[in-house]
Chain A
Amino acid sequence: MNIIDDIILHSPALIVAIPLLGAFLTPLISKINDKVRNVFVISIVLFTSAIVLLLANDIYSACGKIHTYVFGGTAAITEGGFAVRILFEVDGLNIFMAIITTILAISGVIYSWAFMKENTGLDKYYTLYLLMIAGMFGMILTGDMFNFFVFLEITSIASCALIAFWTSKGKAVDAGFKYIVISAIGALFILFAIAILYGQYNALNMAVLASNIQFSFLDKIALVILISGLAMKAGIVPMHMWLPDAYGRAPASVTLILVGVTQASLYGALRMIFTVYGGKLTTTINQIGDVNIDLNLLLGIFIVGLALVTIFIGVLMALKENNFKRMIAFAAVAEIGYIILAIGAALTTVFSATDPRTGIMALKGGIFHILNDALDIGLLFLVAGAIYYATKETSLNRLGGLARNMKYTTIFFLIGLLAVSGMPPMNGFASKLMIYESTYQVNPILSIIAILCSILLLAVFVKVFHSAFLGPKLPKFDNVKEVPKSMLLAMGIIACIIIFIGLFPDLVVNNIVQPAVNALTNNSNYINNVIGGI
């Protein structure tokens, strides 16, 4: 039997299992040598990435193809008709998120080599790092509600321990505690919602649930609890208090993956709304005069409201913040606002029978922006980490004139700056333009607010660029050197991808984003892949 076919057949399990195995082998391997351990971890991540790319190639080979992998059996549903088997179901959206995770994981692990070199306890660091990556892949690929919860918890436990990795700093431990409180409560909310759904439909399978869902009163409660739990994990505004602390205090290589964890939570919300509840979202829940108030409209307006608040507060807090990393963290909050703005706008229009094009466009923009946000914010955090590595300084008041000593870092920061504020040659422009266009069709005010906030974001980062990189050379930074090569390589990888996407957005939208959008809007395909195979 051909080994490549075998790997593709088993790939959804391998993508999760190989980082998991690597995580448990790391403490043993680090007994040998530090260098061997680093090479081992990087090779584990590269191997996983290769499998992700193989699987992506397989998924994209045919339109609407779904790879279903059942653990410990072949059929998703057992003979008695019980859907108790755990399965991984990979469609266009899953593989899109997996590609994002892959990019973040590769650059994060390369960055860690030099960035974390002077720390002790690195065997635990790499164990948790691989656990976090495995948990993220699990969250992204799973097709089972409870499994989603388990991987969510694995991710949040590992990432909490990593946020508090620098335990000598009180604020890092404080941030870790905040993060674990919020994520534990969020995860318990999700578990409660899963229990409500299980009590009604006797199934944990997303596809089986989606085919059975009736939209009773309890289902609505479950939807609200699910969305609020996932919003806590994603850092949407009323629940965003942990995010600046956690992003700001964690080591930069960890923050990079944390950005991905937030996106994975957003993916969870998308999956729950569009796939599990997708068939019943157009239920009319109220009538005012002749106008039907459909559920999707209500949910969409609610999400758009949350998104506007998120964008506003993120940008305004970023304006007044003085700490480099916390400021980028607030910008990350604002960027998440853009994603959910697009999702909310899409929800209001995508189910319309006459003209779903606006909704599709908004959804495309939102999903494309998930990729761009992960790359842009990730690059900025890596630059912030590089500056911290070189100067041991995070406050913007005490930085200045770094462009003279750190040429490449300056260039990377400039790329990230232009990308995150949506300037034309970079990738942020492509996705933000799609969001502006589609939200303008929904309501012009939305896109005006979005554009204004994007300009404010540019102002924020120009201020940082001026105060950190430009200006006269400060005498205390005379000995500052360019950061080591591995960190430059990690930043370079992300910067190259940003420029590539910025130059050829059509290529990415047509080949990667479009299958993800199709997977979201067409949930019967997802259901049939499991139910039809009895």
Chain B
Amino acid sequence: MIYNIPYIAVVALIMIGLYAVVFKRNLIKIVIGILLIENGVNLFLITLAFRQDSIAPIYRGTGSRLMSLPVPHALTLTSIVIGVAVLALMLSLIIHIYRHYGTLDARKIGREEE
């Protein structure tokens, strides 16, 4: 059971994130929802890499001790980097939206006649 807690956390994070994206109307909250999904997926990758009693995968006189798997760490890192880029882009778009419409309510933006 104790080893399943991270997976439960993953599912909970993704579900909360999806809930925020689907039901919330404030754009900032939608962005937070996307970040929650992303963190859930990252946590999932990190959990996959975990081995009990393992050490960080650095090559320095470790003898025969078990190392945790480095590939998912690299994947997570890449995913975090991409997440930063997406976050910056979304926030800058939100700044522009706020300038145009003076609101962050998803129901009130993009409704004007051309």
Q: Do chains A and B touch in the complex (CB under 8 A)?
A: yes
Contact A150 B27 (CB under 8 A): no
Chain A residues within an 8 Å CB radius of B78: 146, 150
Chain A residues within an 8 Å CB radius of B101: 170
Assess whether B12 is interfacial by the CB under 8 Å rule.
no
Assess whether A171 is interfacial by the CB under 8 Å rule.
yes
Assess whether A199 is interfacial by the CB under 8 Å rule.
yes
- Cα distance A229–B40 when bound, in Å? 16
Nearest-CB distance from B61 to chain A (Å)? 20
Contact A173:B90 (CB < 8 A) given known A195-B41, A198-B72, A394-B114 = no
Contact B34 A170 (CB under 8 A): no
Chain B residues within an 8 Å CB radius of A150: 78, 82
Assess whether B79 is interfacial by the CB under 8 Å rule.
yes
The residue that A192 contacts in the complex, of B27, B44, B72, B97, with Cβ under 8 A, is: B44
Chain B residues within an 8 Å CB radius of A323: 114
Q: How many residues of B contact A (CB 8 A)?
A: 32
Assess whether A502 is interfacial by the CB under 8 Å rule.
no
Chain B 1-41, CB-CB to A under 8 Å as 1, else 0, gives 00000000000001000100100000100100010011001
The residue that B93 contacts in the complex, of A164, A185, A198, with Cβ under 8 A, is: A164
Assess whether B51 is interfacial by the CB under 8 Å rule.
no
Nearest-CB distance from B55 to chain A (Å)? 19
Contact B27 A153 (CB under 8 A): no
Chain A residues within an 8 Å CB radius of B110: 170-171, 174-175, 245
B-contacting 9-mer, from A102-110, A176-184, A286-294, A335-343: A176-184
- Cα distance A265–B76 when bound, in Å? 22
Task: List which B64-109 residues lie within 8 A (CB) of chain A.
Answer: 71-72, 75, 78-79, 82, 85-86, 89-90, 93-94, 96-97, 100-101, 109
Contact A180 B85 (CB under 8 A): no
Contact A195 B48 (CB under 8 A): yes
Contact A173 B41 (CB under 8 A): no
Contact A181:B21 (CB < 8 A) given known A157-B86, A170-B112 = yes
Contact A146 B96 (CB under 8 A): no
Nearest-CB distance from B31 to chain A (Å)? 8
Contact B100 A395 (CB under 8 A): no
Assess whether A507 is interfacial by the CB under 8 Å rule.
no
Contact A184 B86 (CB under 8 A): yes
Contact A173:B89 (CB < 8 A) given known A153-B82, A181-B21 = no
Chain B residues within an 8 Å CB radius of A180: 86, 89-90, 93
Nearest-CB distance from A317 to chain B (Å)? 17
Nearest-CB distance from A145 to chain B (Å)? 10
Chain A 140-157, CB-CB to B under 8 Å as 1, else 0, gives 000000100110010001
The residue that A84 contacts in the complex, of B71, B79, B86, B100, with Cβ under 8 A, is: B71
Nearest-CB distance from A124 to chain B (Å)? 12
Contact B27 A199 (CB under 8 A): no
Contact B85 A157 (CB under 8 A): yes
The residue that B97 contacts in the complex, of A170, A185, A187, with Cβ under 8 A, is: A170
Assess whether A483 is interfacial by the CB under 8 Å rule.
no
Nearest-CB distance from B104 to chain A (Å)? 11
- Cα distance A358–B93 when bound, in Å? 48
Chain A residues within an 8 Å CB radius of B45: 191, 195, 198
- Closest residue of chain A to B82, judged by CB? A153
Contact A146 B41 (CB under 8 A): no
Contact A185:B96 (CB < 8 A) given known A146-B75, A170-B112, A198-B72 = no
Chain A residues within an 8 Å CB radius of B112: 170-171
- Cα distance A114–B94 when bound, in Å? 30
The residue that B96 contacts in the complex, of A160, A164, A188, A192, with Cβ under 8 A, is: A164
- Cα distance A180–B96 when bound, in Å? 14
Nearest-CB distance from B93 to chain A (Å)? 5
Contact B41 A188 (CB under 8 A): yes
- Cα distance A245–B111 when bound, in Å? 12
- Closest residue of chain B to A150, judged by CB? B78
Chain B residues within an 8 Å CB radius of A352: none
Nearest-CB distance from B45 to chain A (Å)? 5
Nearest-CB distance from A189 to chain B (Å)? 9
- Cα distance A258–B58 when bound, in Å? 42
- The residue in B48, B79, B82 that gathers the most chain A C-beta atoms within 10 A of its C-beta is B82
Nearest-CB distance from B67 to chain A (Å)? 13
Contact B27 A177 (CB under 8 A): yes
- Cα distance A399–B114 when bound, in Å? 14
In the complex, besides A173-B100, A187-B82, 15 extra interface pairs with C-beta distance below 8 angstroms are A84-B71, A146-B78, A170-B110, A170-B112, A173-B97, A174-B97, A174-B110, A180-B86, A181-B90, A188-B41, A192-B14, A195-B48, A195-B75, A198-B48, A199-B48
Q: Pull 12 A–B residue pairs with CB atoms less than 8 Å apart, ordered by A.
A: A153-B82, A157-B86, A170-B110, A177-B94, A177-B97, A184-B34, A184-B38, A188-B37, A192-B14, A195-B45, A199-B48, A395-B114
Which 8 A-B pairs rank lowest in CB-CB distance, beginning with the nearest? Answer: A170-B100, A174-B110, A173-B96, A199-B48, A153-B82, A177-B93, A192-B41, A188-B37
